[in-house]
Amino acid sequence: MRGFTPRQRLILILMATAVVVVFGLLGYVVIATTRQMAALSPLPSPQGPVSPPASPTGAAELSPTAATASPTAIPTPTRAVPLSQIQSARAVHEVARILARVRDLPPVEQFPVSFPSEREIALYLLQRYGEIRPQEALVLYGLLGLIPRQESLPLPDVTAQAARVFSLYAPAGRQVLLVAGRGPATPDDELALVHTLAHALQDNGFGLGADAEPPRVPLASACRPTTDAALALRALLEGDAVLTTARYAGVDADPQEVDRLAGLAAGAEEPTYAPLANATTFEAIRLFPYREGARFAAALFADGSWDAVNRAYAAPPCSTQEILHPERYRARRPVLEPAVPDLAPVLGKGWSLARRDTVGEFLVGLHLAAYLDDDGAARRAADGWAGDTFTLWTDGAGREVIVWRLAWESREEAVEFERACGLLVPRFRNPPLVAADPPLGLTGRFWSGPAGAAYLLRTGRVVTVVWGPDLETVAAVVPALP
C-alpha cells in the first residue's frame, strides 16, 4: 500500500472487511430463502423430462376436426414407474394432504395418479366431449347473437386444449392426470395442480361422481336441465376450486390475482373451438364459472367460512342470477317459467318445437351488450331478471320462429328491459328491421324487413319477444300467446 497514509490504509482495510461481511450475509439470506421456499412448495421440479407412457397402438394424430378418432381409456401405468414419476406422485399426494386442511374437507386417502402424454390427454378430452357434448350450448349462443351462427357444430379443439393442460381430474375412476414430458414444474403448474386436486376433494366430500359411495343424488338433478342452471352449477364447482387455490397460494385478498387464477383454470378445463378463436363474448362465457363463481364462493365464505360453501352443495344455485347476486341466492326465490303454449297448430304443418330453454340473467346481459352501445346500461337492464322461457320452432326448411318470454322482479325492471330490447330489435337482424304498423289490430310493437320480422310487448312484469321469417308468421303467433 505504498503512497497511502496510515489513515487511508485503515479505511481501505475496513471497506474490504465490510464487503466480505455483506456478501457473506447476502449468501446466507439467499440460501435460507431458497430452503424456505422449497419447504413451502411440496411440488418437485423434475431434473429432466418425464418419459411418457407408450401411445395406444395405431392411434392417429389429432387435429381440431378429428371426428373419427377412436376414444381411449385413461392410461394407467402397468410397468415399473420411473423414479421421477414416483416422486411426482408422492408430491401430488402431499399437496392433496395440505389442501385438505386449507379447504377444511376430509383428505382423499387413496387416488391413482397417471402420467399420460399430451397426445393421450387430447384423446381423453375427445372421448369425454363425445359423451357430454359441450358444443350443444353453441346453438343457443348463436340464436342470441353472442357468436356467429354455425352451419354445423364444430368439435372442441382438443389438441390446443391439451397443450395448455398440466393436470386434470378424471371423475371416472377418480384419477389425477399429470401430463408427462413437460419438464420442470413452474409455480403456475403447482397452482393448476391445486385446482385439479380441489375437484378431487369436492368429489370425495360431496359424492359428485356417478360411482359415489354411498350413492347420492347427482348435483345437476337439483335444478331443471337448462343452459342457465348448468352455468350456475358449474360456477359453484369452479368458483369453489378457484377460491381454494387462491387461499392455498395466500392471494385470496387480491382480486386481480384471483382473476388470473380463474383464467388459468378456464384455459385448461374449458373447451375451445377454432371458428370462435377471436370471439370475445364467447371468452366471457368460458370465464363465467371461474371468475363469477369465485366471487360467489368468496361471498359465501365471508358469511360462514367453508361451512357456508359446503351447504351450497346441498342447496345449489340454479340460476346465474344467484351467482351474480349472492344475496338473491340466500333469499332462494324460485326461477319463474312464463308459459309458452304449443304453437305447432298455429304455425301449421311441418313446424315443431326444436328447443325449450332458460337463458338467464348472465346471457341476457351479454345479449343486450352485444347490440347496445352501453355495457353498463345492458347489465342494469338484465338486473331484476326473475325467469324466462326461450323456445325455438322450425319447419325443416330453414325457417325459424323464436318465442321468448321473460319475467321480472318488478314492473319498473320490466319497463327498463322493454326499453333496452326496443333499441336492440332493429339491430339484431342484417339488414336492420324497420318499424311496422301492427297488423290485424294487434297490440305491441312490430318490425319487419328482408331479414324477417319481430314483435315486442310488455304485460305487467312479463316481456314477450317474437322473431319470425316474415310479418305474416309473427302475426299468426301473437294471438296464441298468453
Q: Which of 309, 314, 364, 301 is nearest to 335 (CA)?
A: 364
Mean pLDDT along residues 98-118: 93
Contact in structure between 462 and 414 (CB atoms under 8 Å): yes
* Predicted confidence (pLDDT) per residue in 11-52, tens digit: 444 444 433 333 343 333 333 333 333 333 444 433 333 333
Q: What is the pLDDT of residue 409?
A: 97
Q: pLDDT category, 209, cuts 50, 70, 90?
A: low
**pLDDT tens per residue across span 399-423:** 999 999 999 999 999 999 999 999 9
What is the predicted pLDDT for the residue at 32?
35
pLDDT 10s digits, 170-193: 988 889 999 998 877 899 999 999
Which position has the higher pLDDT, 179 or 56? 179
Q: Is 139 within 8 Å of 355 (Cβ atoms)?
A: yes
Residue 378 near residue 338 (C-beta atoms within 8 A): no
Grid look-up 357434448 returns: 133
Segment 437-471, tens digit of pLDDT: 999 889 999 999 999 999 999 999 999 999 999 99
Q: What is the pLDDT of residue 84?
A: 66
Average pLDDT, the chain: 84
- Which of these, 347, 289, 348, 354, lies nearest to 320 by C-alpha position? 289
Average pLDDT over every residue of 386-393: 98
CA 55-57-58 angle, 5° bins: 110
pLDDT score for 77: 42
Tell me, what's the pLDDT at 183? 74
Residue range 233-249, pLDDT digits in tens: 999 999 999 999 999 99
| Residue 9 pLDDT greater than 60, yes or no | no
CA gap 310, 321 in Å, rounded: 20
Which grid coordinates belong to 253?
A: 385478498
Average pLDDT over residues 344-372: 97
State how far the alpha carbon of 332 is from the alpha carbons of 168, 274, 315, 408, 460, in Å.
Answer: 33, 39, 9, 16, 23
Cα distance between residue 363 and residue 38, in whole Å: 44
- The reported pTM is 0.82
Contact yes or no for 288/235 (Cβ under 8 A): yes
Sign of CA dihedral 158, 164, 177, 117: positive
Tens digit of each residue's pLDDT (9 = 90 or more) over 464-482? 999 999 999 999 999 999 9
Task: Look at residue 385 in the predicted model and tell me its pLDDT.
Answer: 98
Q: How confident is the model at residue 327 (pLDDT cuts 50, 70, 90)?
A: very high
344-480 is classed in which CATH architecture? 3-Layer(aba) Sandwich (3.40)
Residue 120 confidence (pLDDT): 96
pLDDT in tens, 262-294: 999 999 999 999 999 989 999 999 999 999 999
User: Per-domain residue ranges for the chain?
Assistant: 83-331, 344-480
Calpha distance 461→386 (Å, rounded): 9
Nearest by Cα to 94 from 193, 239, 237: 193
Mean pLDDT, range 101-128, rounded to an integer: 94
